[in-house]
Amino acid sequence: MINESESKSSLRESIALADIVISINGRDAGKRFLVIETDAEYSRIADGKSRRYEKPKKKKNKHLKLEDRADNQISERLIKGEKLTNNEIRRFLAGYAAQRSNEGGIEDAKR
């Protein structure tokens, strides 16, 4: 049987480029971000508003919660090394939040 700490750490380690994550620590706790860059310990995240693509937040992966994988178009562009605009990031995250709230997540409507 896998203990809870092992499953949490393996989930956090699985954070990849173009994932949708939620910050679980710090001033930005509870906010949704898009992963712009990642490695074994840190990810650079942006939301297009407070954290812009040009200056993403460097955050430890253990302080992020994986919420979902981004759609193919966004992930393909990031993998190719193409730059996203802040407007594209904002619209993508807003569309994702709207989709989540339509599925019944009251908490997601606040983000």
Fold of the CATH domain 4-110: SH3 type barrels. (2.30.30)
- Token pair of 2, please? 């896998």
pLDDT digits (tens, 9 = 90+) for 33-55: 999 999 999 999 999 999 999 99
SS3 53: coil
The pLDDT score that the predictor gives to residue 36 is 96
Q: What are phi and psi of 51, to 5 degrees?
A: -120, 105
34, 45 Cβ separation under 8 angstroms: yes
- Give me the DSSP letters along 58-94: EEEGGGEEEEEEPPHHHHHHHHTTPPPPHHHHHHHHH
* pLDDT recorded at residue 103: 82
Size of the chain in residues: 111
Domain ranges (residues) in the chain: 4-110
